[in-house]
Amino acid sequence: MGILEKISEIEKEIARTQKNKATEYHLGLLKAKLAKYRAQLLEPSKSAAAKGEGFDVMKSGDARVALIGFPSVGKSTFLSLMTSTASEAASYEFTTLTCIPGVIEYKGANIQLLDLPGIIEGAAQGKGRGRQVIAVARTADVVIMMLEATKGEVQRSLLEKELESVGIRLNKCKPNIYFKPKKGGGISFNSTVTLTQCSEKLVQLILHEYKIFNAEVLFREDCSPDEFIDVIVGNRVYMPCLYVYNKIDQISMEEVDRLARRPNSVVISCGMKLNLEYLLEKLWEYLALTCIFTKKRGQRPDFTDAIILRKGASVEHVCHRIHRTLASQFKYALVWGTSTKYSPQRVGLTHLMEHEDVIQIVKK
């Protein structure tokens, strides 16, 4: 039996197994098996690599946004509207066959926007250019899932399933579980909260399925078996995703209103240039970039020119942005803002910056 068949067998079995206390362990085990086979599927296909089919697009700018969607939902039209790059748009499916980068300039940041070929059901298993498209999506800071307003619901759930099956978790936080494989000592299991979905026995069963017999496990959150499996498997990507319903010129006002109220959703029309500014605002929010202002000694901060960094950037990152050699001449920095207890506070290179902090760097 091939991997795909095995996966489909297990999926069928999960579907026909009633969910209750008695089947809890059986289901947990099936899910662990399923995750294992999917991981095997994800291993890069040798033939694709040999043909050089990957979309190797250089990362550039302050952040990267990937456009994912079914064919002809308007991805290329959107790229051409928002950036100075033109990407061919047409009424037939699979107009775009490769990855086309453009740049959105917004609030002083350069946001790389990637137009990609349309993907369809089965993409994760290699249908069309699915695998390559998904591989690019994994490298993004935010995914825009573009949906056709008239078929939004169906497209959304199909694509969510595709991305889910390759370990991309949309708008979810990493499960708060401490997991550490050990050399010996068996499995030590603890939790700081009451667990309603997992038990020590189930955790052990799942670990055994992965041939893990010694480990430390601490649940700090009431996680599901699937979330626990995510933690063991490890290579999950937790990705912010904005659902963008395009072509709202083709649906009723009531329908537009309903879609706009869905969580993480924005409605637009590229054709009629509707709501694009709001989409940018939302995108900016989802990117959650950190803007840092610099200040010279005895002068006011320069609020006109922010240094834009990804979340979790340190003082060292700030130095590298200002000048290549600044970090090596660094003595200390003074920081004003939410990242410090006092304003200003003297900090070193490893200090983590927060949004809208002000920094003054003192050289040796």
Ligand X SMILES: Nc1nc2c(ncn2[C@@H]2O[C@H](COP(=O)(O)OP(=O)(O)OP(=O)(O)O)[C@@H](O)[C@H]2O)c(=O)[nH]1
Q: How far is the CB of 99 from K ion (least distance, A)?
A: 15
How many other C-beta atoms can be found within 10 angstroms of the C-beta atom of residue 51?
9
Q: In terms of CB distance, is 4 or 90 closer to ligand X?
A: 90
Residue 294 within binding range of K ion, rule CB under 5 A: no
* Residue 344, preceding peptide bond in cis (omega within 30° of 0): yes
Return the closest-CA partner of residue 31 out of 189, 179, 227, 238: 227
Least distance between ligand X and beta carbon 281 (Å): 19
Give the Cα separation of 2 and 227 in Å (integer): 26
Name the phi and psi angles at 228, rounded to 5: -65, -45
User: With binding defined as CB under 6 A, does residue 128 bind ligand X?
Assistant: no
Q: Which is nearer to ligand X, 81 or 231 (CB)?
A: 81
The region of 189-197, 268-276, 285-293, 296-304 touching ligand X under the rule CB under 6 A is 268-276
**Spatial separation of the C-alpha atoms in residues 87 and 322, rounded to whole Å:** 34
Under the criterion CB under 5 A, does residue 265 sit at the interface with Mg ion? no
Q: Which of residues 68-107 bind K ion (CB under 5 A)?
A: 72, 95
Q: Is 271 in the site for K ion (CB under 5 A)?
A: no
How many other C-beta atoms are found inside a 10 Å radius of the C-beta of residue 360? 17
Give one DSSP letter per residue of 194-230, joined into a string: --SS--HHHHHHHHHHTT--SEEEEESS---HHHHHH
Residue 83 is a binding residue for ligand X (CB under 6 A): no
Site for ligand X in 41-70 (CB under 6 A): 69
Interface with ligand X (CB under 6 A), residue from 54, 126, 181, 271: 271
First CA to last CA distance, the chain: 66
- Positions 101 through 120 that interact with ligand X (CB under 6 A): 117-118
| The token pair that represents 248 in the structure block | 């709202």
Q: Does 246 bind K ion (CB under 5 A)?
A: no
Kindly list the residues in this chain that would bind ligand X in the complex (CB under 6 A).
69, 71-77, 89-91, 93-96, 117-118, 246-247, 249-250, 269-271
Residues in contact with K ion by the rule CB under 5 A: 72, 95
